[in-house]
A and B are shown apart, each in its own frame.
Chain A
Amino acid sequence: MELKTPLYDCHVQCRGKVLPFAGYLLPVQYETGVIAEHMAVRKAAGLFDVSHMGEVTLAGKDALSNVQRLVTNDCGRMYDGQVKYSPMCNETGGVVDDLLVYKLNQEKFLLVINAANRFKDVEWIKGHLSGSVEFKDISDQVAQLALQGPKSEEILLKLTEIKDIPVKYYSFVERGAVGGIPCLISKTGYTGEEGYELYCKPETTKNLWNSLLEAGKEEGLIPCGLGARDTLRLEAAMPLYGHEMDDAISPLETGLGFAVKMDKEDFIGKKGLEARGEPERKRVGLYITGRGIAREKCTVYFEDKTVGMTTSGTHLPYLGRPAVMALLDMEYTKTGTKLDVEVRGRKIAAEVAELPFYKKEFAKQTLR
């Protein structure tokens, strides 16, 4: 049986097309459709229910040293109120999950994990704790909304005191309030746009959702489903667990080297990554230049030679053209390399593109 997020009734009311995802009933799209929702986030703002995401905390004297052992990024010099993205590796250097590390204080960290990996992660983390640390899975006590798009700040300002709105990308205010509702307000997102992720108690989520939609009406804020979440992250070339990485793919192959600190004293997977050596394949973006749309798990060819596999693919709504991400043998990853992607037995022309496909131009001045 699928679980309902606190917003299930709101989704039905907004005429969301609700389907099971990672054990939850979540809206894939609303009446507006994936393309309109995608464009709203690029040009105005969109509101997503991402309450299915998992949250766990590590607290105690040895919280930091445990975080440091679990994740590949270096969380040693984080300030209170900072967020860091990191893969969490297994012993062989494959990826258990990718997550956000929130530093609440020197002795307390919040990790935000993928819904589909929640129980696996919980077991993994519990099995690797050491010293004085208390671990809690608080996923069921935390709901999350993502307010994303260039108008997000304007909308949030209507309901929030300026001091509660984090200024820097990848920072947060732990005890903020939005329309009087207590929230952790984080300047993060999964869309390639400016935006915020709001963590609150499940029983307050409905109010938060409705207040935001009401406040953002003039700015063009609309509810968005998981369909647009996927096309937005793909257009911004953000990897998704289970696609661009998994238990066997190393974070270096996925292009996450910036979040893998090999000079860090020790972490789970360091030896495995060393043993793997230089990656022989890497994640790239391909524009489909022939006619058609490729999805995940399509074979990629250079002439008649198999050189890799697609990991995600769709029609990119903002750029208006089809594209895929793929893991390819290193020698075929140069921008402009001409390749073919096999779609249902037919080869379609493709070309290696610069990633990200879409990059936000941060021309806008903030209101402050």
Chain B
Amino acid sequence: MKEFLFTKTHEWVQFLNETAARIGLTDYAQKELGDLVFVNLPEVGDEVTVKEEFADVESVKAVSCVYSPVTGTVKAVNEDLLDQPELINSDPYDAWFIEVDHISAKEELLSGEEYEQFIHEEE
């Protein structure tokens, strides 16, 4: 399995090769948000930009933005999430949001260990 990297805004990135990656929300994020009931995703062909919002997720209580850790083009979106946003709660590392290719920039990403440490400090 390919390695998961993390952002301080609680997204995960899994690089498929040098210029393509899948993006999702971390387990910590889904727990903090609670039961998710709606997801707004971009469309195939849309451009995403480092540290800019590309999707939003809604729990029963509130809406939260999801930020892109990379700059690139949306190659695929996980349409299962549109009908079953609860997949993000039940299996956050399987519930990818989008697949991006032609990646030209990425933010500084944390390793699993660094992310654990970061959450620990946040709490």
User: Taking beta carbons and an 8 Å cutoff, which residues of A are in contact with B?
Assistant: 17, 28-29, 33-36, 38, 227, 231, 291-293, 295, 314-315, 317, 322, 344
- Expressed in whole angstroms, the Cα–Cα distance for A133 and B74 within the complex equals 71
Cβ A315 vs Cβ B58 within 8 A: yes
**Interface residue SS majority, chain A:** mixed
Can you list, as one digit per residue, whether each of B50-62 has a CB less than 8 Å from chain A (1) or not (0)? 0000000011111
Whether the pair A314, B60 counts as a contact (CB closer than 8 A) is yes
Given contacts A293-B58, A317-B60, contact A35 B35 (CB under 8 A): yes
Pairwise interchain contact B63-A293, C-beta atoms closer than 8 A: yes
Q: How many A-B residue pairs have CB under 8 A?
A: 41
Complex: chain A residue closest to B61, CB-CB = A227
List chain A residues, Cβ under 8 A from B40.
291-292
> Which among B58, B60, B89 has the greatest number of chain A C-beta atoms within 10 A?
B60
Chain A: minimal CB distance from B78 (Å): 16
Count B interface residues, CB 8 Å.
12
In the bound complex, do residue B34 and residue A315 qualify as a contact, i.e. CB atoms below 8 Å apart?
no
Contact A293 B34 (CB under 8 A): no
Given contacts A314-B61, A315-B58, contact A29 B38 (CB under 8 A): no
The residue in chain A whose Cβ has the minimal distance to the Cβ of B32 is: A17
Judge if B37 is at the interface, Cβ distance under 8 Å: yes
**Chain A nearest CB: distance from B61 CB in Å?**
6
User: In whole angstroms, what is the CA distance A344 to B37 when docked?
Assistant: 17
Interface string of B25-57 (1 = CB under 8 A from A): 000000000110110100000000000000000
Indicate if the CB atoms of A34 and B60 lie closer than 8 Å. yes
What is the chain B residue whose CB lies nearest that of A228? B60
The distance in angstroms between the C-alpha atoms of A292 and B40, with both chains bound, is: 8
Q: Closest chain A residue to B59 by CB distance?
A: A34
Residues from chain B with Cβ under 8 Å of A291 in the complex: 38, 40
Mark B residues whose CB is within 8 Å of A: 34-35, 37-38, 40, 58-63, 89
User: Hey, which chain B residues are within 8 Å of A34, CB to CB?
Assistant: 34-35, 59-61
- For the complex, give the distance between the alpha carbons of A314 and B35 in Å: 12
Interchain Cβ contacts under 8 Å between A and B, 20 examples: A29-B34, A33-B34, A33-B89, A34-B34, A35-B37, A35-B60, A36-B35, A227-B61, A231-B60, A291-B38, A291-B40, A293-B37, A293-B63, A295-B62, A314-B60, A314-B61, A315-B37, A317-B60, A322-B38, A344-B63
Contact partners of A231 in chain B: CB under 8 A:
60
Instruction: Enumerate chain A residues within 8 angstroms of B35, measured Cβ to Cβ.
Output: 33-36
Q: List the A side residues contacting B89 at CB < 8 Å.
A: 33
Give chain B residues whose Cβ lies under 8 Å from the Cβ of A293.
37-38, 58, 63
For B82, give the chain A residue with the smallest CB separation: A291
> Which residues of the other chain, A, contact B63 by a CB distance below 8 angstroms?
293, 295, 344
* Most A C-beta atoms less than 10 A away, residue of B35, B40, B59, B89: B35
Could you tell me the distance in whole angstroms from the C-beta of A108 to the nearest C-beta in chain B? 39
Q: Which residue of A lies closest to B60 (CB)?
A: A34
Question: Which residues does chain B contribute within 8 Å of A28, judged by CB atoms?
Answer: 61
Residues of B near A29 (CB, < 8 A) are: 34
For the complex, what is the distance from the CA of A292 to the CA of B63, rounded to whole Å?
A: 10
Rounded to whole angstroms, the CA-CA distance of A75 and B21 in the bound complex is 67
Give the distance in Å from the alpha carbon of A28 to the alpha carbon of B59 in the complex.
13
A29 to B62, CA, bound (A): 14
CA distance A205 to B37 in the complex (A): 34
Q: From B34, B37, B40, B89, name the one whose CB has the most chain A CB atoms within 10 angstroms.
A: B37
Given contacts A29-B34, A34-B34, A293-B37, 9 further A-B contacts (CB under 8 A): A17-B34, A33-B35, A34-B35, A35-B35, A35-B60, A227-B34, A292-B38, A295-B62, A314-B61
- Chain A residues with CB below 8 A from B61, complex form: 28, 34, 227, 314
A75 to B14, CA, bound (A): 65
- How far does the alpha carbon of A314 sit from the alpha carbon of B62 in the complex, in Å? 8
Q: Which 8 A-B pairs have the closest CB atoms?
A: A315-B37, A35-B35, A34-B60, A293-B58, A33-B35, A293-B38, A34-B35, A33-B34
